[in-house]
């Protein structure tokens, strides 16, 4: 099976460099018309220039593809909605969204300023919400949409000095979970990529020999798969250096305690059983957890839930 995007219109944010550039080039090479969005700021979000986005558009056009540059700041909802309206007016729709734009303001939590926390959340999490919101109604009207959000191992698993970035990136998973549910009836599929690659954000963190293995192009195959017509939904994929993996959030089977044991001492005494992951499952929705707990309690009480 060859995955193609002929006739599809894609927006890739943060596409002037690194991962976004690779994703934009990959989509264009397989037939998509691409909005190359990049605010053109520094790694910490300061400054701004349309030059990086225009350079990627020129690459796409020279290769025979179709693209336009857009300098919308994803943390500005008016600019994001204008970008979507422009693409829709020019090409008729926005079918695919890869929300990739991001900044870094790393500091240990004790030294982190509130402004640095807020700004990183504004760009990553709120900016992703803005992009999804701006394309959502059009996707619903056309009964088709594919969205890929960008999370990070820094949020999923933790990384020193990135409380702001980690919190924002883990928020992507919650956003994906809800949008995937709400989008099902209109064939809007929402997935998340957890990339690790040599970009402006990682170049100071890894030795040269490791960076040489971590090309941004190695992430793009997973992103294009998650944007494809036959993609799954509500899926987190890890990717880097040619490796691809599935990431899941699991809950143990757990145990139900009698009311007399609703104490912290009893929880401590039974913690080994509570944390036994041999029957762990990835729950498919918040209510599934509620049903499980109520079912366990009902079984103990000898009643039907």
pLDDT given at position 209: 75
pLDDT given at position 48: 61
How many domains, the chain? 2
Which residues have CB under 8 Å from 78's CB, separation 6+? Answer: none
Closest residue by Cα to residue 97 from 192, 221, 228, 227 = 227
Q: Which of 247, 271, 293 is the last residue of a domain?
A: 247
Q: What's the pLDDT band for 208 if we cut at 50, 70, 90?
A: confident
Output the pTM of the full model: 0.93
The answer to whether residues 195 and 143 belong to one domain is yes
The answer to whether residues 275 and 228 belong to one domain is no
The answer to whether residues 66 and 162 belong to one domain is yes
Tokens of 268: 């401590």
Query: How would you list the strands of the sheet with 188-195, edge to edge?
Result: 66-70, 33-37, 9-12, 96-98, 145-150, 188-195, 236-240, 243-247
Q: Check residue 266 and give left, alpha or beta (phi > 0: left; psi -120 to 50: alpha).
A: alpha
Residue 291 has pLDDT above 70, yes or no: yes
Residue 210 has pLDDT above 80, yes or no: no
pLDDT given at position 18: 92
Residue 166 has pLDDT above 80, yes or no: yes
Q: What is the mean pLDDT of residues 226-237?
A: 98
Which residue among 130, 144, 165, 293 is the active-site one? Answer: 165
Residue 254 has pLDDT above 70, yes or no: yes
Residue 111 burial by Cβ neighbours in a 10 Å radius (0-12, 13-18, 19+):
exposed
Residue 42 has pLDDT above 80, yes or no: no
Dump pLDDT digits (tens) for 125-151: 999 999 999 999 999 999 999 999 999
Residue 41 has pLDDT above 70, yes or no: no
Q: At what angle do helices 77-91 and 127-142 cross, to 10 degrees?
A: 30
The answer to whether residues 242 and 271 belong to one domain is no
Dump pLDDT digits (tens) for 67-109: 999 999 999 999 999 999 999 999 999 999 999 999 999 999 9
Dump pLDDT digits (tens) for 15-26: 999 999 999 999
Dump pLDDT digits (tens) for 181-199: 999 999 999 999 999 976 5
The answer to whether residues 85 and 191 belong to one domain is yes
Residue 47 has pLDDT above 60, yes or no: no
Any domain includes 174: yes
pLDDT given at position 100: 97
DSSP code string of 177-201: HHHHHHHGGGTEEEEEEEE--SSTT
pLDDT given at position 198: 65
Could you tell me the CA-to-CA distances from 183 to 22, 90, 98, 146, 209 in Å, in that order? 27, 25, 16, 10, 42
CATH code for position 77: 3.40.50.720
For residue 165, indicate whether it is catalytic: yes
Range of the domain at 124: 9-247
pLDDT given at position 203: 63
The answer to whether residues 287 and 187 belong to one domain is no
Q: What is the mean pLDDT of residues 213-223?
A: 92
The answer to whether residues 227 and 264 belong to one domain is no
């Amino acid at each position: 099976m060859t995955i193609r995007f002929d006739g599809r219109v894609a927006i890739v944010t943060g596409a002037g460099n690194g991962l976004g550039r690779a994703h934009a080039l990959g989509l264009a090479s397989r037939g998509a018309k691409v909005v190359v969005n990049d605010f053109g700021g520094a790694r910490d979000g300061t400054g701004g220039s349309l030059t990086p986005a225009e350079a990627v558009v020129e690459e796409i056009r020279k290769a025979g593809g179709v693209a336009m540059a857009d300098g919308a700041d994803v943390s500005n909802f008016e600019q994001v909605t204008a970008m979507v309206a422009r693409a829709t007016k020019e090409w008729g729709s926005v079918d695919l969204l890869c929300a990739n734009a991001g900044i870094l303001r790393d500091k240990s939590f004790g030294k982190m300023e509130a402004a640095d926390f807020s700004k990183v959340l504004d760009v990553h999490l709120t900016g992703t919400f803005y992009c999804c919101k701006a394309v959502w109604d059009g996707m619903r009207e056309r009964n088709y949409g594919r969205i890929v959000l960008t999370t990070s191992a820094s949020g999923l698993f933790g990384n020193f000095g990135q409380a702001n970035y980690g919190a924002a990136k883990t928020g992507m998973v919650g956003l994906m979970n809800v949008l995937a549910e709400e989008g099902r009836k209109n064939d809007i599929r929402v997935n998340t990529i957890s990339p690790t690659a040599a970009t402006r954000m990682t170049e100071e963190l890894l030795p040269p020999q490791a960076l040489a293995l971590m090309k941004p192009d190695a992430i793009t195959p997973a992103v294009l798969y998650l944007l494809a017509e036959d993609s799954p939904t509500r899926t987190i994929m890890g990717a880097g250096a040619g490796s691809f993996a599935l990431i899941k959030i699991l809950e143990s089977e757990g145990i139900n305690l009698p009311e007399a044991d609703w104490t912290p001492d009893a929880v401590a005494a039974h913690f080994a059983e509570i944390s036994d992951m041999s029957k762990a499952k990835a729950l498919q929705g918040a209510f599934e957890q509620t049903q499980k707990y109520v079912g366990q309690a009902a079984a103990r009480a000898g009643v039907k839930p």
